[in-house]
Amino acid sequence: MDKLKLKALYADLRPDLDQVEKELITSVASDAPLLTDASLHLLQAGGKRIRPVFVLLSAKFGDFSIERIKHVAVPVELIHMASLVHDDVIDDADTRRGRPTVKAEWNNRMAMYTGDFLFSKAIASLANIEKPYAHKLLADTMVELCIGEIEQVEDKRLYDLSVKDYLRRIRRKTALLIRVSCELGALASEVDDKTRIHLRNFGYYVGMSFQIVDDILDIVSTDEMLGKPAGSDLLLGNITLPVVYARDEANVSRLLARIEQGDTTEETRHELLTVLRKSEGLEKAKRLSNLYLEKAMNEMRSLPNSPAKRSLQNIALFMSKRKF
Amino acid sequence: MDKLKLKALYADLRPDLDQVEKELITSVASDAPLLTDASLHLLQAGGKRIRPVFVLLSAKFGDFSIERIKHVAVPVELIHMASLVHDDVIDDADTRRGRPTVKAEWNNRMAMYTGDFLFSKAIASLANIEKPYAHKLLADTMVELCIGEIEQVEDKRLYDLSVKDYLRRIRRKTALLIRVSCELGALASEVDDKTRIHLRNFGYYVGMSFQIVDDILDIVSTDEMLGKPAGSDLLLGNITLPVVYARDEANVSRLLARIEQGDTTEETRHELLTVLRKSEGLEKAKRLSNLYLEKAMNEMRSLPNSPAKRSLQNIALFMSKRKF
């Protein structure tokens, strides 16, 4: 994703995001230099802070106070980070975003407890918001993320994954944390219920659209654009929407059968990418992504015009229409 | 520990504990049969539910309602369970309390996300209590538990661990979660501040005394009583208070040097146990444990007499004076 272009869409938020960034650093302070170092290592890896952006923009529809809202923006980003560091333990990953993982730089024990530490710090930060319902929302989302992690394995190598299975998976993997970011931002700023629900639904639909696009880009992008071999996830049995749709096309099903029998050579990967890029499945996936984008835009329709609304619309468009 | 004798000390709590047990089972329900099964597997392993007992008894000093207080008792037990299951991943343990661990029965991924799931369910349960400060207390305790886990490794094999280091370690390992159990129970039942602080301190001192006794029993008990070889932790470099105190006695230091050089034979273990059992260090450790027990009892002194107070006193006595 072109980070610079994305950031231009919420340039107005710069001072608020700087405050969030400061609070992120403050929030991981502790008596344990190792845990704080590992957390800072993760924070400094960058990331787009897209979840805090959704929190802030949603909060702008109500009684906005950066001093209050930073305690919502920080937890969602910390939970995102915690889930990444735990994933790295399980996936045995050595790098993420081009930097060594906590697991690689320190060890598995550090990665485990850094994740737990970040979860705890997220809850501690949210405790500044005097709304028990906020804790319930965030905790319920965390539960769904865990379920998603377990389902992902069950689904793995299941070449008969249905469209419904796929959608349920990306809902938990991506859409729910964006949804809760919007909803918590609105809740903490006393946004009226009707607007809050629109923002919440908007976040959900944007998340769905975004993840489908991500999965399309994994097929159509070059290795250089992705920073990893295109289609590599498919070889591992992580089936995505374009493949689900294209599975019945003769060339695709022939190749999938080969992969399922263990043929994961470079040649097979290239062949699969070639047929998928020309397949109907790719077009169908794009259509579904556009449908979610449309639904997201519909949620915005009845909300009053404002710079925050325009930013949300632009971000949604950008995330769904990006080329990498 | 003699579970039956312990349970007799809080027989009055039986109906309340049954409610907590039911709520524990309800609380781990989810759309993910695997995660719920793994959680039930952990719940059914038993455990003394000593943390919920501290919650309930502390709550009895105020406006007690089981419907409310179960949402405090459940989270502390779930967090205890979550930390055990994550420990089992790191320690690569195959059994706990004589049952296969989640890691052994399923796999590491399941253990990781079952732990995360239990953390999340703990927060979700506590969200029923309309007190943001309760979340802060619990989250801060979770942070301290993580720090404890990391420190434990740093300390490992450090044969120059000081008494202060040891106390800091057991504070995080044991005392803080009992302290927060008492404090949250009091907080949720609107116990007045002065009584709440006494209960909180009581929990802390009982926890300290309890852990020192546990470490003493690891040396003086038979293998049968412990269900594992006595002194086995010491061979792994987990130095406990009796050893810290006895380290300067000639026979002890000679043996420790041998262990540090990699001699972890059965013979060495028996020799170490023999000298430790006769050492001054063991007596000194008992004295410190008694001192903490005394401090715990002092905290109770100014509180009004009640069945709950008597139960807390009896449990403290039992936990500190038990023979296994």
In B83-122, the residues whose Cβ lies within 8 Å of chain A are 83, 86, 89-90, 108-110, 112-117, 119-121
In B149-168, the residues whose Cβ lies within 8 Å of chain A are 149-151, 153-154
Of B86, B117, B154, the CB nearest to A112: B86
For residue A291, what pLDDT is reported? 97
Strand-pair partners of A95: A100
Helices (H) then strands (E): counts for chain B: 18, 2
Query: Residue A121, Cα to own-chain centre: how many angstroms?
Result: 20
Q: E strand or H helix at B95, and its extent?
A: strand B95-96
Q: Is the pLDDT of residue A156 over 60?
A: no
Q: E strand or H helix at A234, and its extent?
A: helix A232-235
For residue A29, what is the nearest residue in chain B, using CA coordinates? B143
Q: Is the pLDDT of residue B153 over 70?
A: no
* The residue to which tokens 């296994």 are assigned: B324
Mean pLDDT, residues A299-311:
95
Q: Is the pLDDT of residue B154 over 70?
A: no
Share of chain A above pLDDT 70, in %: 96
Lowest mean pLDDT among A95-109, A305-319, B264-278: A95-109
Of A109, A113, A135, the CB nearest to B135: A135
Q: Is the pLDDT of residue B199 over 70?
A: yes
Mean pLDDT, residues B177-193:
98
Q: E strand or H helix at A100, and its extent?
A: strand A99-100
8 Å CB contact of B109 and A35: no
Mean pLDDT, residues A66-94:
92
Q: Which residues of B touch A133 (CB under 8 A)?
A: 127
Q: Which residues of B touch A114 (CB under 8 A)?
A: 146
Helices (H) then strands (E): counts for chain A: 18, 2
In A218-237, the residues whose Cβ lies within 8 Å of chain B are none
Q: What is the CATH number of the domain that holds B217?
A: 1.10.600.10
Residue B157: pLDDT band (50, 70, 90) is low
Residue B142: pLDDT band (50, 70, 90) is very high
Residue A209: pLDDT band (50, 70, 90) is very high
- What distance in Å separates the CA atoms of residue A183 and residue A187, rounded to the nearest whole number? 6
Q: Is the pLDDT of residue A242 over 90?
A: yes
For residue B6, what pLDDT is reported? 81
- What distance in Å separates the CA atoms of residue A245 and residue A207, rounded to the nearest whole number? 20
For residue A78, what pLDDT is reported? 97
Strand-pair partners of B99: B96
Per the model's pLDDT, the better-predicted residue between B94 and A134 turns out to be A134
For residue B181, what pLDDT is reported? 98
Residue B36: pLDDT band (50, 70, 90) is very high
What is the ipTM for the molecules in this complex? 0.91
**C-alpha dihedral over B183, B188, B191, B195, to 10 degrees?**
0
For residue B159, what pLDDT is reported? 65
To probe the interface with B, which of A72, A89, A135, A169 has the most B CB atoms within 10 Å?
A135
Q: Is the pLDDT of residue A246 over 80?
A: yes
Mean pLDDT, residues B216-231:
84
To probe the interface with A, which of B147, B176, B180, B184 has the most A CB atoms within 10 Å?
B147
In total, the C-beta contacts within 8 angstroms joining chain A to chain B are 138
Share of chain B above pLDDT 70, in %: 96
**Which residue in A268, A314, A278, A311 sits closest to A57, CA to CA?**
A311
Phi-psi group of B249: left, alpha or beta (phi > 0 → left; psi -120 to 50 → alpha; rest → beta): beta
Mean pLDDT, residues B32-56:
92
To probe the interface with A, which of B30, B106, B110, B112 has the most A CB atoms within 10 Å?
B112
Of A113, A131, A143, the CB nearest to B121: A143
Q: Is the pLDDT of residue B152 over 80?
A: no
In B13-72, the residues whose Cβ lies within 8 Å of chain A are 30-32, 34-35
List of residues 6+ apart from B204 with CB closer than 8 A: B171, B175, B176, B178, B179
For residue A150, what pLDDT is reported? 86
Of B113, B132, B143, the CB nearest to A120: B143
8 Å CB contact of B35 and A123: no
Q: Which residues of B touch A119 (CB under 8 A)?
A: 116, 119, 142
Residue A94: pLDDT band (50, 70, 90) is confident
Share of chain A above pLDDT 90, in %: 65
Query: Residue B121, Cα to own-chain centre: how many angstroms?
Result: 20
Which is it for the CA torsion A119, A122, A124, A126, positive or negative? negative
Residue A313: pLDDT band (50, 70, 90) is very high
For residue A123, what is the nearest residue in chain B, using CA coordinates? B139
8 Å CB contact of A86 and B136: no
Q: Is the pLDDT of residue B156 over 80?
A: no
**Domain encompassing residue B216:** 2-321
B179 vs B54, B122, B176, B205, B250, CA distance in Å? 9, 17, 5, 8, 38
Of A113, A138, A149, the CB nearest to B113: A149
Residue B24: pLDDT band (50, 70, 90) is very high
Query: Residue A141, Cα to own-chain centre: how many angstroms?
Result: 13
Structural tokens at position A85? 């560091």
8 Å CB contact of A89 and B110: no
Q: Average per-residue pLDDT in chain A?
A: 90
For residue B13, what pLDDT is reported? 93
Measure A60 CA to nearest chain B CA, in Å. 24
Per the model's pLDDT, the better-predicted residue between A177 and B233 turns out to be A177
Count of domains forming chain B = 1
Radius of gyration of chain A (CA): 20
DSSP codes, B133-177: HHHHHHHHHHHHHHHHHHHHHHHTT-TT--HHHHHHHHIIIIIHH
Measure A124 CA to nearest chain B CA, in Å. 5
- Highest-confidence segment of A5-9, A122-126, A316-320: A122-126
